[in-house]
Structure 1
């Protein structure tokens, strides 16, 4: 329910949108103002203005209205940056082979598969390989490589003994030419 003084305040605020002639007429008709105080009209309704953000826009104590999807804000509350928690970070390894020239390039403990493959290819090429291809990329595992008469076997497993056993079984040999384990690293 609006009181008479509230109606008057709302009327004064509504007059701000009127043209100069309409404003003078409106004020004279209501006997609210004379010629001397119309210049103060914008201040007449200052007490009736509410500073609110539009629906769906959050202020959360901030002097500016923020859209609901603003970065760093969640339901009107600033989101604190979470401290980096310690975690296991995967590591990658790769083997690149030039089967025609018997050249091998390897990589271990790389942060990404692409980095491991690049490093293995570079190693194979530096050793003289002309037709190097990534034979195997692996993450957080062990690998073994064994050469047969005119072929090679690269195998990956959870531990070095198992990887070597698989590679040797495929080649019919008793020793591997390369083995490596890549384990995740603890990040603080």
Structure 2
């Protein structure tokens, strides 16, 4: 009987060791020798539920553009991506003066879009157009003028909304 008591004692010790190595239901045991619940900060399975800080929302401002012309000398100038109408007109007049214009005047302004000015190859009235893209504005100006065989776009510019906050994709 003594041998059977020893075998029984050994079996009980083995069972006790196995029982102490298992964690409570819902608590992972792999790599978690202390059976620490996963919602405790010192658990190897802990994941902070605090939401990551959010970037501020993007803010956009109007992007002003202008085209200026000197009808006597043929100078022309444009400006885009300006924060005000006045700034766009001023920059376009300066650009026209760099092109040889002496009496440059603001011809048109636009905001958050593209603009084009076309004229018949033989001279005559100017046709203007605005659109979301430069190619669309050019096509519209040509259509208003006539067609691409008789008219030519001689100046175009785009000015899209200006991002006011954040950089590097934020």
| TM band (smaller chain) | 0.5 to 0.7
Structure 1 residue runs of 5 or longer lacking an equivalent are: 1-82
Match of 1:96 among 53, 57, 68: 68
Aligned-pair distance for 1:85? Answer: 4.8
Aligned-pair distance for 1:156? Answer: 1.5
The DSSP-based 3-state class of the residue aligned with 2:68 is strand
Checking the alignment, whether the CA contact within 8 Å between 1:135 and 1:154 is kept in structure 2 is no
Checking the alignment, whether the CA contact within 8 Å between 1:143 and 1:180 is kept in structure 2 is yes
The DSSP-based 3-state class of the residue aligned with 1:130 is coil
- CA, structure 1 residues 100+169, in 2 after alignment: closer, same or farther (shift >3 Å)? farther
- Counterparts of 1:100 and 1:155 in 2: how far apart (Å)? 23
**Match of residue 158 from structure 1:** 132
Q: Which has the higher contact order (CA 8 A, sep 6+)?
A: 2
- Following TM superposition, the consecutive aligned residue runs of length 4 or more in structure 1 with deviations greater than 3 angstroms are none
**Match of residue 139 from structure 1:** 111
What's the C-alpha RMSD, in Å, of the aligned pairs? 2.2
Match of 1:167 among 137, 141, 145: 141
- Counterparts of 2:125 and 2:58 in 1: how far apart (Å)? 43
Match of 1:106 among 72, 78, 81: 78
Match of 1:177 among 147, 154, 162: 154
Aligned-pair distance for 1:119? Answer: 0.4
Aligned-pair distance for 1:182? Answer: 1.6
- Counterparts of 1:114 and 1:185 in 2: how far apart (Å)? 16
Aligned-pair distance for 1:164? Answer: 1.6
- Counterparts of 2:153 and 2:114 in 1: how far apart (Å)? 13
Q: State the Cα deviation string for residues 91-133 of structure 1 (Å, max 9, x = none).
A: 1110001123221011011111110000001111222212221
Structure 2 residue runs of 5 or longer lacking an equivalent are: 1-54
The DSSP-based 3-state class of the residue aligned with 2:72 is coil
Corresponding residue pairs, total = 106
Normalising by the residue count of structure 2, what TM-score does the alignment of the two structures yield?
0.54
Q: Which has the higher helix share?
A: 1
**Match of residue 130 from structure 1:** 102
